[in-house]
């Protein structure tokens, strides 16, 4: 079972690794089977405990790895055995997978605990408390599938987790499947996520086929071992694998052109957005590229493509985030943008930097989402208070007189005073994301920028611009939400959330603030930790871009990025504090909802409408597909093939033939002959029967005559 038997010192718990999957499974099963009789608290506790225990296992694995950095693989059972296709349920424990396990289970546990409080209110706000259990079942299912994804020792088992998390994402985005636009909006968002991910998975599948055709295995180690030979023989094959895989990455990690599902995914409850659509699932693509680093290392053109896709996404999504009003949509586009950073990093071969950003991003983005959830529920409580306290039963006024949207930042403002804890943790998260030292985001983002400045100038410029935008839209968001005057009565009556929600927030805030310590440029702890896994074969090393290039810290790069971030924050303050206050002097009818609307004009509309990419996809792909399938189903298959060809041509043709045969041939020829025979017989009989007189003697006479004739014949012959 264990490959490394007592190689070096230290306790060793590698055999525990399947439990990272089994523990959430047990939690899930308990809640499925007995959940109906358990209280909400207990359900939440069971689910959180299951995840927490998985975290403990992950910690034990990490501890073991300190003593045995080479890790181990634990094979549980065979899976698909068909010809030379041999795939097993095998778990890989190494520094890379354990890092992911720690993030998934660690952040996951905190979000589980937070969700105990959040979902308590959420199910009541949406009016269906029975779904509380379902939420935690899905949540545990997600942890389970995510663990399968990160702990697999082969690509196919990874794919099980890969699609499994997609399923959980679908289920949780559509958690309030009877809500949303026209009652079906959330369900549609879930479907969009699933189908878009499936497009990515199509790429993953093709990559898997190519891989098997060339390597005859899916096992990480076996594949990587053969890379030098295969790379010499068929470099195009590896290029194909990596590019197909990129499509999968673009689907799962929301990169251009498949990022469109992630903003819609915000239809899910906020803990879902935090756990799945910010901290863990969406980083699966980054993990995949990091895991497949040896493959990418031998095809620089694939690396460049990945890096450019990531960098372009980072900037593209950053621009959209500037013009969004939904608090979660801003964070969603920010997530896409940050994922772009990570993908660019791992694409360039800067695996450590990418993974480092993945970890810190998991902290602060989870924090931001959860705080946003706290804000949203604060507003909802405010709305509730206003509706119940004012006897006139007037509903809360929304900015445009429509249905009140508690997620719209235009309905917020001034929450700083009403939700103190949330404000502070949000601020920490925002600063960390903006990349202002000394918080976590600065260190990880800086490392990516540093690598980019060495490896690819284009990527560097794109990412730097994106970093500037990051600081700007986060400044805008904090100012719109927490500063200034309350822009709605609900915001004015908002209240702080309970400790079950704020305590996880504070823990995450601490991590967001201090996460940078993991990998300070002077110590490179995280880098050394990952080195054990992210190493490439000697032969390949020359081809690979020098990740090891002795870059420690470049004050110029750090200075530029920090300076830009500070400028962006000041700009945001100028626009959303100064200009906004001046804007308030205008009469309400003429007042724009965003100070930038006037300044940027059509550009702002372009950004607000997300470059109309969704509409473009509808026009170019979805509508033609629907039209084509309708045409095929209704015209081709039914009207042409079923009705016309089969019921008309074949049936009518047959009927026509049958009629010709029956009328012309059968009646005209065969029947006619038979009828004529009958008629002739009848006419003959007509005459002959006259002989029958009925007199016995006539008959006797003919008998005698007959006898005489016969006798005569006998005698005379």
Instruction: Work out the number of other CB atoms within 10 angstroms of the CB of residue 404.
Output: 20
Quote the CA–CA distance of 450 and 458 in Å, as a whole number.
13
Q: Does residue number 26 form part of the binding site for other proteins (CB under 8 A)?
A: no
Longest dimension (CA), the chain: 150
> Does position 658 bind other proteins by CB under 8 A?
no
Task: Give a three-class secondary structure readout of 580-627.
Answer: HHHHCCCCCCCCCCCHHHHHHCHHHHHHHCHHHHHHHHHHHHHHHHHH
Check residue 626 for interaction with other proteins (CB under 8 A).
yes
655 binds other proteins (CB under 8 A): no
Among 72, 208, 299, 490, binds other proteins (CB under 8 A): 208
Q: Does 611 bind other proteins (CB under 8 A)?
A: no
Q: Which stretch binds other proteins (CB under 8 A): 44-52, 257-265, 394-402, 625-633?
A: 625-633
Q: Is the dihedral of CA 300, 302, 305, 307 positive or negative?
A: negative
**Binding string to other proteins for residues 226 to 245, with x set by CB under 8 A, is what?**
--------------------
- Smallest gap, in angstroms, from Cβ of residue 209 to other proteins? 4
Q: How far apart are CA 11 and CA 66, in angstroms?
A: 9
Out of 202, 424, 461, 573, the only residue in the binding site for other proteins (CB under 8 A) is: 202
Question: Shortest gap between Cβ of 226 and other proteins (angstroms)?
Answer: 17
Residues 6+ apart with CB under 8 A from 675: none
Is the CB of 235 or the CB of 437 nearer to other proteins? 235
Q: Which of 34, 209, 612, 676 binds other proteins (CB under 8 A)?
A: 209
Whether the Cβ atoms of residue 187 and residue 174 lie closer than 8 Å to each other:
yes
Work out how close the CB of 625 gets to other proteins at its nearest, in angstroms, rounded to a whole number.
8
- 110-139 residues in contact with other proteins (CB under 8 A) are 128
167 near other proteins, judged by CB under 8 A: yes
Verify binding: residue 79, other proteins, rule CB under 8 A: yes
Answer yes or no whether residue 639 interacts with other proteins by CB under 8 A.
no
In this structure, the number of other CB atoms found within 10 A of the CB of residue 544 comes to 18
292: number of Cβ within 10 Å: 23
Given 162, 296, 333, 341, the residue binding other proteins (CB under 8 A): 162
What does the DSSP assignment read for 235-268? HHHHHHHHHHHHHHHHHHTT-TTSTTHHHHGGGS
Smaller CB separation from other proteins, 179 or 397:
179
Q: Does 696 bind other proteins (CB under 8 A)?
A: yes
CB under 8 Å to 646, separation ≥6 — which residues? none
What's the closest the beta carbon of residue 238 comes to other proteins, in angstroms?
16
Residue closer to other proteins (CB basis): 5 or 84: 84
Q: Among 62, 199, 543, 603, indicate the residue that binds other proteins (CB under 8 A).
A: 199
Total interface residues for other proteins by CB under 8 A? 65
Instruction: Please report whether residue 629 would count as binding other proteins according to CB under 8 A.
Output: yes
How far is residue 593 from each of residues 324, 584, 597, 608, 614, measured CA to CA in Å? 11, 10, 8, 12, 23
Fill in the DSSP letter of residue 176: T
Residue 81 pairs with which residues in a beta bridge?
A: 86
Among 13, 15, 212, 618, contact with other proteins (rule: CB under 8 A): 212
- Does the CA dihedral 541-546-547-550 come out positive or negative? positive
Cβ distance to other proteins smaller for residue 30 or 278: 30
Interface pick for other proteins out of 574, 611, 645, 676 (rule CB under 8 A): 645
| 282, 313 Cβ separation under 8 angstroms | no
Q: d(Cα 141, Cα 133) in Å, to the nearest integer?
A: 12
List Cβ neighbours of 533 (8 Å cut-off, separation of 6 or more): 71, 94, 95, 96, 97
**Among 388, 590, 689, 717, which residue interacts with other proteins (rule: CB under 8 A)?**
689
Residues from 141 through 160 that contact other proteins (CB under 8 A) = 156, 159-160
Give the range of 405-413, 479-487, 549-557, 633-641 binding other proteins by CB under 8 A.
Answer: 633-641
Smallest separation (angstroms) from other proteins to the CB of 482? 35
Cβ closer to other proteins: 123 or 452? 123
CB 341 within 8 A of CB 313: no
What is the smallest separation between the CB atom of 468 and other proteins, expressed in angstroms?
Answer: 37
Q: Least distance (Å) from other proteins to the CB of residue 477?
A: 31
CB 263 within 8 A of CB 329: yes
Residue number, 145 or 422, with CB nearest to other proteins: 145
- Per the document, the length of the chain is 717
Of 78 and 615, which CB lies nearer to other proteins in the complex structure?
A: 78
For 359-391, letters b (16+ CB in 10 Å) and e give bbbbbbbbbbbbbbbbbbbbbbbbbbbbbeeee
Q: Is 673 in the site for other proteins (CB under 8 A)?
A: no
- 181 binding other proteins? (CB under 8 A): no
Span from 8-16, 193-201, 439-447, 454-462 in contact with other proteins (CB under 8 A): 193-201
When asked if residue 630 is in the footprint of other proteins (CB under 8 A), the reply is yes
Which of the stretches 77-85, 327-335, 565-573, 607-615 binds other proteins when contact is defined by CB under 8 A? 77-85
682 lines the binding site for other proteins (CB under 8 A): no
- Asked whether position 692 contacts other proteins by CB under 8 A, the answer is yes
Q: Which two tokens stand for residue 310?
A: 């990531």
Q: Any contact of residue 660 with other proteins (CB under 8 A)?
A: no
Our finding on whether 187 is near other proteins (CB under 8 A) is yes
Of 56, 49, 57, 77, the closest CA to residue 16 belongs to: 57
DSSP 653: H
Is 437:517 a contact under the CB 8 Å cutoff? no
Q: Which residues bind other proteins (CB under 8 A)?
A: 77-85, 128, 156, 159-160, 162-164, 167, 170, 174, 177-179, 183-184, 187-188, 191, 194-195, 198-199, 201-202, 205-206, 208-210, 212-213, 625-626, 628-630, 632-634, 637, 641-642, 645-646, 689-697, 700-701, 704
């Amino acid at each position: 079972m264990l490959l490394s038997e007592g190689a070096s010192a230290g306790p060793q718990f590698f055999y525990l690794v399947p439990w990272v999957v089994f523990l959430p499974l047990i939690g899930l099963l308990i809640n499925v089977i007995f959940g109906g009789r358990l209280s909400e608290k207990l359900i939440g506790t069971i689910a959180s405990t299951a995840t927490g225990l998985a975290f403990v296992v992950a910690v034990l694995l990490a501890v073991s790895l300190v003593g045995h950095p080479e890790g181990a693989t634990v094979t549980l059972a065979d899976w698909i055995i068909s010809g030379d296709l041999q795939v097993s349920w095998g778990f890989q424990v190494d520094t890379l997978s354990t890092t992911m396990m720690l993030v998934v289970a660690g952040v996951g546990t905190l979000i589980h605990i937070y969700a105990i409080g959040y979902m308590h209110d959420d199910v009541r706000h949406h009016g269906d408390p029975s779904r509380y259990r379902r939420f935690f079942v899905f949540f545990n299912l997600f942890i389970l599938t995510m663990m399968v994804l990160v702990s697999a020792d082969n690509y196919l088992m990874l794919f099980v987790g890969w699609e499994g998390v997609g399923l959980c994402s679908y289920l949780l985005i559509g958690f309030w499947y009877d809500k949303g636009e026209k009652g079906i909006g959330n369900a549609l968002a879930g479907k969009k996520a699933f189908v878009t991910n499936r497009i990515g998975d199509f790429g993953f599948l093709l990559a898997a086929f190519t891989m098997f055709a060339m390597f005859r295995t899916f096992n990480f180690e076996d594949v990587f071992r053969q890379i030098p030979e295969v790379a010499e023989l068929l470099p195009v094959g590896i290029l194909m694998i990596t590019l197909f895989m990129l499509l999968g990455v673009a689907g799962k990690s929301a990169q251009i052109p498949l990022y469109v599902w992630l903003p819609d995914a915000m239809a899910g409850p906020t803990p879902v957005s935090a756990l799945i659509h910010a901290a863990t699932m969406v980083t699966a693509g980054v993990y995949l590229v990091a895991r497949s680093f040896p493959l990418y290392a031998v095809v620089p053109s694939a690396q460049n493509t990945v890096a450019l896709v990531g960098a372009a996404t980072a900037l593209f999504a950053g621009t959209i985030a500037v013009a969004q009003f939904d608090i979660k949509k801003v964070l969603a586009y920010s997530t896409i943008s940050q994922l772009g950073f990570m993908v660019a990093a791992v694409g360039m071969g800067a695996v450590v930097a990418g993974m480092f950003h993945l970890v810190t991003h998991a902290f602060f983005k989870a924090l931001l989402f959860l705080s946003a959830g706290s804000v949203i529920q604060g507003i909802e409580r405010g709305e509730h208070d206003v509706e119940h306290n004012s006897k006139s039963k007037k509903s809360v006024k929304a900015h445009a007189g429509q249905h009140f949207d508690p997620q719209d930042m235009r309905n917020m403002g001034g929450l700083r005073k009403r939700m103190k804890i949330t404000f502070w943790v949000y601020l920490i998260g925002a600063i960390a994301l903006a990349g202002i030292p000394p918080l976590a985001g600065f260190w990880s983002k800086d490392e990516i920028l540093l690598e980019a400045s060495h490896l690819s100038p284009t990527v560097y410029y794109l990412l730097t611009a994106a970093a500037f935008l990051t600081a700007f839209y986060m400044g805008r968001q904090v100012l719109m939400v927490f500063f200034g005057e309350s822009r709605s009565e609900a915001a004015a009556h908002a209240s702080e959330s309970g400790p079950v929600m704020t305590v996880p927030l504070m823990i995450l805030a601490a991590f967001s603030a201090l996460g940078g310590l993991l990998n300070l440029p002077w110590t490179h702890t995280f880098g050394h930790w990952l080195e054990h896994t992210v190493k490439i074969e000697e032969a390949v090393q020359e081809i690979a871009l020098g990740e090891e290039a002795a870059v420690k810290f470049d004050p110029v790069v750090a200075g530029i990025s920090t300076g830009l971030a500070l400028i962006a924050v000041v700009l945001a303050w100028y626009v959303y504090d100064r200009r906004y206050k001046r804007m308030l002097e205008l009469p309400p009818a003429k007042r724009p909802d965003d100070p930038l609307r006037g300044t940027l004009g059509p550009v702002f509309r372009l950004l607000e409408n997300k470059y109309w990419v969704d509409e473009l996809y509808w026009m170019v792909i979805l509508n033609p597909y629907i039209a084509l399938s309708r045409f095929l189903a209704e015209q081709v298959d039914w009207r042409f093939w079923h009705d016309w060809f089969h019921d008309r041509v074949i049936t009518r043709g047959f009927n026509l033939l049958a009629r010709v045969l029956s009328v012309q041939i059968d009646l005209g020829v065969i029947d006619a002959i038979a009828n004529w025979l009958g008629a002739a017989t009848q006419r003959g009989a007509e005459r002959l029967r006259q002989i029958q007189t009925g007199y016995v003697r006539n008959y006797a006479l003919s008998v005698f005559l007959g006898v005489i004739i016969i006798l005569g014949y006998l005698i005379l012959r």
